[in-house]
Amino acid sequence: MNFCCDCGGPLSLRIPERDDRHRHVCDTCGMVHYQNPRVVVCAIPIWNDKILLCRRAIEPRHGFWTLPGGFMENDESTLDTARRETFEEAGAHIEVGELFALFNLVQINQVQLFFRATLPEPVFAPGIESLEVALFAPGEIPWDELAFTSVSCTLREYFKDRAQGHYRLRVADILHPPGQERRIHPHNFAHD
Amino acid sequence: MNFCCDCGGPLSLRIPERDDRHRHVCDTCGMVHYQNPRVVVCAIPIWNDKILLCRRAIEPRHGFWTLPGGFMENDESTLDTARRETFEEAGAHIEVGELFALFNLVQINQVQLFFRATLPEPVFAPGIESLEVALFAPGEIPWDELAFTSVSCTLREYFKDRAQGHYRLRVADILHPPGQERRIHPHNFAHD
């Protein structure tokens, strides 16, 4: 960030009055340019006992499998995002159910939400961001080819709950210290 | 948005390649300036059977009571935000518990999260954004002087669950069509 998006003036990094942290502040018009985490919303789309996964046609993690999801846009709700992204990536209409997982990814300034969802009918097709889309029974999940830590954690915890017939929201941090492996720090569940 | 924060060039509102909606795009360097919803995180801080509320010293809703909370910052988790905001606004340290409510406020591009929390000790004091801070028993809540629809909905649903000894995540939209009253559209609970 170098220039004010409002007036084009130069920005300095300083602590505004009545604030306690450095912000990009315009030297000309005084506008403070806040930067905040973004929300990613994913669906766990179910048809009978199978889960819909997409194989990614884009980076990062090209060729790996993921649950459909993406960045929340302005003018939509978290449920809208889950529906829109599932249609864009998997060509499938879903009915969104309960929130199942919330992950904090502090190092990349993201909050990821995973909603349970059902497919009213087994109709789907890859969108431009997917190489293929398919339904997987629990024993068929490609565990070694999943794209993201949050996706594998969500699926693992989802199957635990489904076996017990009772679902409970999971909250966890996904830590990614520089030069180290990603690590799950759960807040309200035992993770093995 | 008029200027590119990266190179200072002029922005046009147009649909970038492989996108499906209008964005502010730099005519000079091609940078796409995405705008996304922001996350607000609040706490429901409990000491014995009482709830900690803050009376706002700032607009909007100066003089009205609210649960402590505010915008999530970069480099923190949702739980960090709940802790930081409760300390800033109410001078209180909390232990953050389960997520209790998620509200979509589409008209103002916000997602609001409310976490249950406990005060290890009844120590609190107004921060610069609060006129006063106090503990309220259920019968003492100033229902007509609450600042926000999401706060009154959260407290009402919280007391229902506490009476039953079992807590369940609430998900709702708070709609604010132009010229109309705010309206709660619950996704997973009966709202009266």
Residue A58 amino acid letter: I
Q: Calculate the average pLDDT of chain A.
A: 95
A49-103 pLDDT per residue, tens: 999 999 999 999 999 999 999 999 999 999 999 999 999 999 999 999 999 999 9
pLDDT band per the 50, 70, 90 thresholds, residue B1? confident
What pLDDT does residue B19 have?
86
Q: Calculate the average pLDDT of chain B.
A: 95
Contacts of A37 in chain B (CB under 8 A): 39, 72-74
Candidates 2.20.70.10, 1.10.357.20, 3.40.50.720, 2.60.40.2230; CATH matching B1-35:
2.20.70.10
**Domain ranges (residues) in chain B:** 1-35, 38-186
What pLDDT does residue B155 have?
98
In A69-181, the DSSP E strands lie at: 69-71, 95-105, 110-118, 130-136, 170-175
Positions in chain A whose pLDDT score sits under 50:
none
What pLDDT does residue B106 have?
96
Structure tokens at B110: 């916000």
Other Cβ atoms closer than 10 A to B183 = 12
B143-188 pLDDT per residue, tens: 999 999 999 999 999 999 999 999 999 999 999 988 899 999 999 9
Task: Return the residue in A78, A107, A166 with the most chain B beta carbons within 10 A, the one to mutate for interface testing.
Answer: A78
Residue contact B4–A3, C-beta within 8 A: yes
What pLDDT does residue A119 have?
98
B17 has a pLDDT exceeding 90:
no
Report the distance separating Cα B162 and Cα B166, nearest Å: 6
Q: Does this chain's domain A1-35 share its CATH topology with A38-186?
A: no
B192 has a pLDDT exceeding 80:
no
What pLDDT does residue A167 have?
97
Asked: is B38-186 a CATH 3.90.79.10 domain? The reply is yes
For chain A, say whether B28 makes contact (Cβ under 8 Å): no
pTM: 0.96
B139 to chain A nearest CA, in Å? 30
Q: Virtual CA dihedral for B91, B95, B97, B99, nearest 10 degrees?
A: 30
